[in-house]
Amino acid sequence: MPGPLVVITGATRGIGHALASKFSQAGHALLLVSRHAAPDGDFPDCLHAVADVADYKAMSLAIQRAEEAYGPVECLVNNAGFLKVAPLQARDAGEMSYEVDVLLKGVLYGVRLVLPGMIERKRGTIINISSIGDRTPGPDGEVYHACKAAVRSLSLTLHKSQAPHNVRVVNVAPGLVKTDIHEEMGISFEEYSKLLGNPTFIEAAELADIIFYCWHLPQRICVRDLVVMPTDCAFG
């Protein structure tokens, strides 16, 4: 039998894909959620759902199907997201609204769907992938940073409300991670790096190792709020 069910959103690429590899290697059953095609790689005991985290009904159906196959969700990793950098006065209102839907409402929806079962079982882990921007925002990313600050606040508030139920809530705030997030901005990785001053990037697999460590700790131990940055980076 596979290990307990882990749900990972934004699982096609980057951090989500690295997390899928890490949890799969540890023998966990997986539900991988993404807006795009199935992730590359051979993940046994795995279901893939093409769903938008901002679509509550689609997420509900995906989680229901996975729990019917593999049992209750033991861990939810809210990872789905994207970054749009532009002056706020130039942003399209509809585009900004959708960004809020994914970065904040998508997290709320995922939590809402798994929390009742975790409370009933008196165990479970919710891991929200935030950003260093949740406490140290940069220019021209107002919507993104505001949503990430809200996710951190949500995580810390949830921890207080769910501690009596033995449900862990972890906020992970990484610095710059080497993913393809630059593609959403319509530029190359080299252009993206130059725009940021050519900083040191965290590898997605490195961050996945850290997140898995937080998960693998005993249920009675919770890393509540974790900043992950390259040693040679003074930002934040």
pLDDT digits (tens, 9 = 90+) for 72-124: 999 999 999 988 888 999 999 999 999 999 999 999 999 999 999 999 999 99
Task: Collect all residues with Cβ–Cβ distance below 8 Å to 105 and sequence separation of at least 6.
Answer: 53, 54
Res. 68 pLDDT band, cuts 50 70 90: very high
Q: What is the pLDDT of residue 84?
A: 85
| Residue 55 included in any domain | yes
Q: What is the pLDDT of residue 186?
A: 78
The string of pLDDT tens digits covering residues 115-155 is 999 999 999 999 999 999 999 998 889 999 999 999 999 99
Burial status of residue 105 (CB atoms within 10 A of its CB: 0-12, 13-18, 19 or more): middle
Q: What is the pLDDT of residue 193?
A: 85
Domain count, the chain: 1
| Residue 115 included in any domain | yes
| Residue 218 included in any domain | yes
| Residue 190 included in any domain | yes
Q: What is the pLDDT of residue 38?
A: 75
| Residue 59 included in any domain | yes
Query: What range defines the domain where residue 51 resides?
Result: 3-228
Out of 158-162, 177-181, 220-224, pick the least confident: 177-181
The string of pLDDT tens digits covering residues 31-43 is 999 998 777 778 9
| Residue 235 included in any domain | no
- Helices 56-70 and 106-121: angle between axes, nearest 10 degrees: 30
Nearest partner of 19 among 228, 222, 211, 223, judged by Cα: 211
The string of pLDDT tens digits covering residues 182-231 is 777 778 889 878 877 888 899 999 999 999 999 999 999 999 999 999 99
CATH for 220: 3.40.50.720
Task: Report the percent of the chain where pLDDT is more than 70.
Answer: 100
Q: Taking residues 45-51, report their average pLDDT.
A: 96
| Residue 219 included in any domain | yes
- Looking at every residue in the chain, the average pLDDT score rounds to 94
What is the CA 37 to chain-centroid distance, rounded? 18
Distance CA 59, CA 65 (A): 10
pLDDT at 181 over 80: no
The string of pLDDT tens digits covering residues 1-19 is 899 999 999 998 899 999 9
| Residue 185 included in any domain | yes
What is the CA 136 to chain-centroid distance, rounded? 19
